[in-house]
Structure 1
Amino acid sequence: MPLLHGVLHVYVHEGTNLAVTRRIQAVGCLKRYVCCGMLPELSGSCDPYLCMDVGSTRRLRTRFIVGTHNPQWNEKHEVYVADEAEQITLEVKDADVVGADFLGQAVIPVADIIGGQQYDKWLHLTDTSGQPLYCKDKSGDSEPSRVHISIQYKPVGSEDASELQPNEVPRVYFPQRPGNNVTLYHDAVCTPGPVPGITLASGGLYSESSCWDDIYVAIQQAERFIWITGWSVWTDTLLQRTPASPTNSPSLGELLVQKANQGVAVLLLVWDDTTNNMPGLGPGVMGTSDEKTNTYFKDTEVTCVLCPRQGGVEDSYLQQLQRGNMFTHHQKTVIVDTALSPGHSPPPMVNEVVPNRRIQAFVGGLDLTNGRYDYPSHPLFDSCAPEGPHCIDFYQGCVEALDSSKACPREPWHDIHAKLEGPAAVDVAINFIERWVKQAGARNMFKLVGGVGLHHRKVDVLLPEGLQQYLSASNLVKGQVKHLSDMRVQSIKHHDAGLEMPDLPPGEAWSVQLFRTIDSTSAQGFPTDAESIFEAGLIVGKGKSIDASIHRAYINLIRRAKRYLYLENQYFLGSAHLWDSDQNTPCHNQVPAEIALKICNKIKAGEPFRVYIVIPMFPEGIPTSGSCQAILYYQAKTRQMMYKRIAAAIQEAGLTGKVSPLDYLQFFCLGKREATGTTCAVPQLPDTSDLLTSNVTNDAAGLAAFAKGEDGWVDMAQQGNVEEAVAASAVVPDLQPQNGLASPPVVDPEKAAGAEATAAAIYGTDDVNLATAQGRACAARRFMIYVHSKLMIVDDEYVLVGSANINQRSLDGTRDSEIAIGAHQPAHSMAGHGDALPRGQVAGFRKALWLEHLGRLLPEIEDPSDVRCMRTLARLGAENWAAYAGPDCVPLPHGHLLVYPNWVDSEGNVTALGDCEEFPDLRGRILGTKSMVLPPILTT
């Protein structure tokens, strides 16, 4: 089947004589009446829009034109494709309050466009059986129903990037900004200072910073405004904790009220979990504590707005219900003013005021809420003891029926965050302003003005000119009516060099670009005409404007990558259109497909390329529950799709038996195990029952223990046969390994029969209830480290950090709202594939992160594109898995990194590890189970 891998440049011109039959009118009338109690006239208007499917996957949708049979769409689109398809299908529909009505379709063979030639035709629409459609005009004559469309296909590698800055993602809402300072964080807190052994190109050592300590200081020092967006904001969060007195500093809520009482404008946009108001769901399905947060700030100077993820007026009735109850606002930002840097003397602004403050912003995966406070050692038990940093902040969202009277390991939390200083921080502020204007209501509009330092109606925070004019008392309402158009044109597309950070050391400036997942139902200021929508890098969907630039950023960055990719993400699922089954699952983001195709192209070209992906051992929640099992199932389908394509590329290149798919792509997870004899305190649960995952009751099969093998483990692991080594203690091979590859595992009956005895060796005979997940996890003294990061590093050159997961919810544009930044240092970049990897701040951060995961620095990690690096990490991860799953309660030998516990054979098939089909202690199938109950839109 032909592969389209590149960009389709599409122009949807117009349609003529679109037919709306009496049957279509009657069905639409019935739907409106049954679902909404509405009874419009049968001769209701025709509101047509056009969809384009590549194969069976929807890749384009126009806005709808109200009340016409002859729509003039005149829309340009850039459609990124990584699809196998014989044909492209155009489908015209009539928008309706409930669903949409079919008006006709046309088919374009892929063979007509795959050569890159311009395709420009009027197409006669047909019904689903292929019969041509006609519409009678006023004179009674029948005229053909037609659409006019132009398409040109440009494969990967043929794009013109001459007008772009280096590493800039083309045609997105926010352009790349030079002159920034970026601070990267791993975990909520970290010991600040230089890291021995990580030397940068400048000759100095890479230096770390502590995220929540920096956020605390930033809030404390704010004088004009503090703006926060969050999925969850917990007022009892302690940002700063010391070993001597972990509860001594003010809580987040106390700190914000204190600043508001000092005259600082404190504005919060917190996702409103609408299930709070549904009978039987208690404090809400997601337990974000949004109602408690809102109540806490009532009658204070802090303005807290709870905002649901609303559907737009253009959505159907069912879509509005779906969006409000299924999807979330997932952005995590803190935006504050701070003093200008020494030596920064910008000229007076348009209001003749000399600015003395500037904007800084924090963006990433960390919510300011319960359970996120953690540090690189990720303790399980000791920190929960009295006076420990988690003594009043115990969090465990994965253990079924948690008993607070008994000991339990906490759920360690690993995350990535960033601080921005310079023009990119202003873009983060613009995102907040666009959301506030749309969601906070008219009575809260003027609080934006107070937030940027309104002194006699004069702004004293350094802002671009358009934003200065917008954020004034006289222009605010006017700006709202104008949909922020002037601000968008002047402040977004124009770069103000006066915002750049001065006096940065030579070569240390960053170029930063802001990306989002959001639509015009949640942000005010998007353009409405087709040309402006295209120029702003937006797409349209049944009338709404959509910013899906995070997805576009991933695609562009993967396509440009030269040597390696390193990803950490809370989820990894997508490209369902390329799976071997369940292709209609609504999860068609292209990230997994782009990675697999990148590896395949590199194998074909004979160039080295590696991809390292770190995900959680299982999604947060009870691993035996239907939702977790469904996600695990879809993730396994995604991995198998990638591995099978890589295996096929290896075979086509004549490398079978010489290399393995695992030499190019490895999945990892993180875990922690502590020795017996360390403190195993009973956690002091805070009064936040709504912040803990609901205790789901679910039966599961018994644990099949996975013991460490006595013979052959080290030899196989050192040779790079990682997956065989992982399975060695419970399987016997039926064929000898050949050049690093072995056959699938076969269960050894004698070892399987000893599973019960092995379980006793793991859990011991302490006073714990081994019938519970809590008792087993406590006795085995192990737990996964939950990976909540949303990170991609490209070639030690470029870093992408934000709130977006690699799933359809985060990348779609009309599901969850998200925010991310892409950043690089132009002085530390690669000119060509054969160049040495850069040694700037991105490389330093990656090595510091791997130091956390591996427990030490190794010479092999200097070049992740080298197969020796891949095999070294796989070997260490395999040895860690053996220790994690084995009978001895001892720390893992190599930090926290674990190979993901599944088998990958030479053909790319992903299967279970012999008799280790379930997660240790908590159970639940590692490869998941497809849900017959939950709709896929919930779990993708």
Structure 2
Amino acid sequence: MQTHDEETRRFFKNSSVQVLLCPRVAGKRHSWVKQREVEVIYTHHQKTVIVDADAGNNRRKIIAFLGGLDMCDGRYDSPRHSLFATLQTFHSDDYHNPTYTGNVTGCPREPWHDLHCKIDGPAAYDVLTNFEERWLKAAKPHGIKKLKISYDDALLRIERMPEILGMADAPCVRDDDPEGWHVQVFRSIDSNSVKGFPKYPRDATKRNLVCGKNVLIDMSIHTAYVKAIRAAQHFIYIENQYFIGSSYNWNQYRDVGANNLIPIEIALKIAEKIRAHQRFAAYIVIPMWPEGNPTGAPTQRILFWQHKTMQMMYELIYKALVEVGLEDAYSPQDYLNFYCLGNREAPDASAPSENQAAANTPQGLSRKNRRFMIYVHSKGMIVDDEYVIIGSANINQRSMEGTRDTEIAMGAYQPHHTWARKLSGPQGQIYGYRMSLWAEHLFFTRPESLECARRVRSLGEANWEQFASNEVTEMRGHLLKYPVEVDRKGKVKPLPGYETFPDVGGNIIGSFLAIQENLTI
């Protein structure tokens, strides 16, 4: 991932900056096999920045930033998502595209699409608490260092700095402020990664923790997603790097262990609305393929699980349509659609001519056809334009289980901008945020409507045709219909003529290649 962890530590050595590398470890009570699995496969995946800021009257306060953005190569981008035009300027020293192996001269960069947020108020102190708990766990002395009577964990504590306001004194907006927010911080993490969880399981339930084998687990991100989906009344909009789950309801491989509820909850919500003869729509944006070589075994296995997840959802929706006799009037895609992002740049006079020997390689084809996906690294959901979740958690078992990758997220709404208060579609900052995400692609104010669902799908299909065409033309919109065919009975099949990804290869619906499941779910 080119995170430069060791390089960063060396850079700050002998300075006042404390760098603590934090490998993912399992608890001592776990078996040797489990400990090796956790260390090799899983990761600390949270992305937070916490700083002090001016609070007025010569005081300081804590603000926090969290979301999907990593501090590493290839993340800087703009809404244009340039492929070639910035290779010699903005991205001359920031080229990143792990799809290719070997010579990448003249190849498109991998454009990056992500979500991040700023938290100002008491919830920012919860993000700080998460950092402190993780730091204290990671800085705990091991081996011979345990013999020391005391040790310096190098952690700054705001209670020792009188100029910084504590949580109780942090400025908040008034309840009657129409632009006020209610914010809650969620995590996927366990007691092996933080200091401060209760010692006894009987105390865990008071903090909404789950008791696992020799471990206490915070699964509040998963809980937040499920509760938000169950409360949805009109539409759901998701952007996520992965979309895998609810394997217990797949038509195969039900025991693979991708048990998070998010995909099936969306499908059941749609089915509930169909039975009630009410409109509902779900828009899900994912990468064209997971980052890396799309022909490789891990990527193909992830795409295979993703296909199984899609198939399960569409089958549930079709069954609901049949139950109420609407299978001829509507199709499953009138309620649920998957999209990806891509871009294409017309060649300019400076574009080099292609070496014939390299013309049929992924690099050569990408240079010739001037196209590449925009990598969706976002981890967010908007419900009914009144509730938003943004964080680091992917929609897969790794991020949602709590004992695998460690994650953090926030859920928020504006009390003055809800359907219940407005008696119509709210148009607060969450509405504005969604519209800004849609701005470069389309403009619709009623996402739940049949007209919107069909129009967006039509635009996405047209954009895919432009992306996949042999003719190289500049793309104006980046939203592409995900390249699979969904028939009226909800069967998900390869799109005729596009069974593999353009230029780079790899089956779009994936392949069941032998690889450890925990790595891919």
Normalised TM-score (structure 1): 0.53
Hey, what does 1:306 align to over in structure 2?
21
- Residues 755-783 of structure 1: CA deviation (Å, up to 9, x unaligned): xxxxxxxxx97757222101100110000
Matched, 1:814 2:515: no
SS in 2 for 1:384: coil
Aligned to 2:146: none
CA displacement 1:844-872 (0-9 Å, x = unmatched) = 000010013x0xx53xx101011111111
Out of 258, 263, 276, which is 1:587 matched to? Answer: 258
Q: Which residue pairs with 1:368 in the alignment?
A: 71
> Does residue 328 in structure 1 map to residue 328 in structure 2?
no
How many angstroms does 1:460 deviate by? 2.2
Equivalent of residue 114 in structure 2, options 407, 415, 419: 415
Find the counterpart in structure 2 of residue 899 from structure 1.
Answer: 481
Q: Which of 252, 263, 276 is the equivalent residue of 1:605?
A: 276
1:677 to 348, 364, 368: 348
What CA distance in whole angstroms lies between the structure 2 residues aligned with 1:308 and 1:830?
44
Out of 198, 216, 227, the position equivalent to 1:556 is 227
- How far off its partner does 1:502 sit? 4.5
Q: What is aligned with 2:10?
A: 295
1:444 and 1:411 map into 2 onto residues whose CA distance is 44
What is the aligned counterpart of 2:61 among 347, 350, 358? 358
Q: Partner letter of residue 425 of structure 1?
A: A
Distance in 1 (alpha carbons) for counterparts of 2:291 and 2:357:
24
Secondary structure of the residue aligned to 1:809 is helix
The question of whether the paired residues in 1 share the 8 Å contact of 2:419 and 2:425 is answered with yes
- Greater share of strand: 1
Q: Which residue of 1 aligns with 2:125?
A: 426
Residue segments in structure 2 that go unaligned for 5+ positions in a row: 142-149
1:844 to 432, 444, 461: 432
2:53 counterpart (329, 338, 343): 338
Q: What amino acid maps onto 2:505 in structure 1?
A: R
1:220-248 deviation line (CA, Å, top 9, x unaligned): xxxxxxxxxxxxxxxxxxxxxxxxxxxxx
Partner of residue 909 from structure 1, selected from 485, 488, 491: 491
Taking a change above 3 Å as real, the CA distance of residues 783 and 536 of structure 1, as seen in their structure-2 partners, is same
Q: Which has the larger radius of gyration?
A: 1
The CA deviation at 1:445 is 4.6
How far the C-alpha of 1:679 sits from its partner, in A, is 5.0
| Aligned counterpart in structure 1 of residue 320 of structure 2, from 649, 652, 657 | 649
Alpha-carbon distance between aligned partners in 2 of 1:359 and 1:308, rounded to the nearest angstrom: 27
The Cα shift of 1:599 comes to 0.5
Counting only pairs closer than 5 Å after superposition, residues 66-465 of structure 1 correspond to structure 2 as 286-340=1-55, 342=56, 356-385=59-88, 388-399=89-100, 401-404=101-104, 406-442=105-141, 445-449=152-156, 452=158, 454=160, 458-464=161-167
Cα distance, 1:765–1:395 mapped onto 2, change above 3 Å: closer
2:470 to 887, 908, 914: 887
Structure 2 CA distance, aligned partners of 1:680 and 1:799? Answer: 42
- Give the number of equivalent residue pairs: 513
Unaligned runs of 5+ in 1: 1-285, 346-354, 465-495, 682-763
Provide the residue aligned with 2:144 in structure 1. Answer: none
Conserved? CA contact 1:801–1:822, under 8 Å? yes
SS of the equivalent of 1:898 reads strand
Q: Aligned pair in 2 of structure 1 residues 325, 503: CA closer, same or farther (>3 Å)?
A: same
Kindly state the Cα deviation for residue 678 of structure 1 after the two structures are TM-superposed: 6.1
- Taking the aligned partners of 2:434 and 2:80, their CA distance within structure 1 comes to 17
Q: Secondary structure at the match of 1:612?
A: strand
Question: Paired residue for 1:478?
Answer: none
Look up the equivalent residue of 1:312 and give its one-letter code: G
C-alpha distance in 2 between matches for 1:505 and 1:370: 43
Distance 2:152 2:398 in 1: 30
Pair 1:877-2:457 in alignment: no
TM-score (norm 2): 0.95
Give the secondary-structure state (helix, strand or coil) at the position aligned to 1:785. Answer: strand
SS class of match (2:390): strand
Say whether the 8 Å CA contact 2:4–2:72 is kept in structure 1.
no
Equivalent in the alignment of 1:930: 512
d(CA) in 2 for partners of 1:338 and 1:595?
39
Q: CA deviation at 1:289?
A: 2.3
Identify the residue that residue 207 of structure 2 maps to in structure 1. Answer: 536
The alpha-carbon distance between structure 1 residues 418 and 583, as it changes in their structure 2 partners (threshold 3 A), is same
- The 1:288–1:653 alpha-carbon spacing in structure 2 relative to 1, beyond 3 Å, is same
- The correspondence of residues 754-773 of structure 1 with structure 2, limited to 5 A, is 769-773=358-362
Whether 1:626 and 2:297 are equivalent positions in the alignment is yes
- Contact 2:201–2:216 (Cα < 8 Å) also in 1: no
Q: What amino acid maps onto 1:308 in structure 2?
A: P
Relative contact order: is structure 1 or structure 2 higher (C-alpha 8 Å, sep ≥ 6)? 2
Relative to structure 1, the CA distance from residue 766 to residue 403 in structure 2 (aligned partners, 3 Å threshold; closer, same or farther) is closer
Structure 1 residue 865 corresponds to structure 2 residue 445: no
**What SS does the aligned partner of 2:358 have?**
coil
Q: Which amino acid aligns with 2:474?
A: P
Q: Is the CA contact (8 Å cut-off) linking 1:382 and 1:680 kept in structure 2?
A: no
Question: Which residue identity does 2:466 align to in structure 1?
Answer: A
Deviation at 1:393, TM superposition (A): 0.7
Would you say the 8 A contact 1:412–1:786 is kept in 2?
yes
For 2:113 and 2:71, the matched residues in 1 are separated by: 14
Q: Give the Cα–Cα distance (whole angstroms) in 1 for the partners of residues 508 and 40 of structure 2.
A: 29
Residues 723-872 of structure 1 aligned to structure 2 (within 5 Å): 769-831=358-420, 835-852=423-440, 854=441, 857-858=442-443, 861-872=444-455
Separation of aligned partners in 1, 2:341 and 2:206: 42
CA distance in 2 between counterparts of 1:301 and 1:784 reads 41
Shift of 1:298: 1.7
Contact 1:768 1:779 in 2 (8 A): no
Query: What does the per-residue CA deviation read over 1:58-108, in whole Å, with 9 as the maximum and x for residues that have no partner?
Result: xxxxxxxxxxxxxxxxxxxxxxxxxxxxxxxxxxxxxxxxxxxxxxxxxxx
CA contact (8 A) 1:517 1:811 kept: yes
Deviation at 1:374, TM superposition (A): 0.4
Give distance in 1, aligned partners of 2:513 and 2:490.
Answer: 24
After superposition, residues 47-66 of structure 1 pair within 5 angstroms as: none
Q: How far is the alpha carbon of 1:903 from its aligned partner?
A: 0.6
1:453–1:460 contact (8 Å) kept in structure 2: no
> Is the CA contact 2:139–2:153 (under 8 Å) kept in the aligned structure 1?
no
Alpha-carbon displacement from aligned partner over 1:883-914 (angstroms, at most 9, x marks no partner): 00001110225x10000000111111111112
Partner of 1:485: none
CA contact (8 A) 2:245 2:396 kept: yes
Aligned partners of 2:349 and 2:140: how far apart in 1? 53
